[in-house]
Amino acid sequence: LYLQRWTHDVEVLYRAQFIHHYPMSSCSVNWTDRPGSKLLMESNNDDSSDRYYNTRQVIQVSMTMLWEIIQMRWIYAITDR
């Protein structure tokens, strides 16, 4: 595996489906946010600076994930896997 961060699971699924041709299907997941999460989606209080920080963090992580997926596709394209 090439990716080690936020998109590690995306690479695992990519390899399973497109390289090894394992059958895939989707299913619903009941998600519960827990204390200690690495990504804060909500502010703990009404302070606008907390909301700004949380929104900025979500955007930053989203851009990082997009960049890592682009890198993954490029790596697999040039290695012809």
Q: pLDDT tens digit string along 7-35?
A: 888 888 888 888 888 898 889 988 777 77
CA distance 20 to 68: 21
In the prediction, which pLDDT does 66 show? Answer: 92
Check residues 74 and 48 and name the one with the higher pLDDT.
Answer: 74
Radius of gyration for the chain, computed over Cα atoms and rounded to the nearest angstrom: 17
Angle, alpha carbons 39-67-64 (nearest 5°): 20
**Among 2-6, 31-35, 74-78, the range of highest mean pLDDT:** 74-78
In this predicted structure, the answer to whether residue 39 has a pLDDT above a threshold of 80 is no
Give mean pLDDT, residues 29-57: 66
In the prediction, which pLDDT does 28 show? Answer: 93
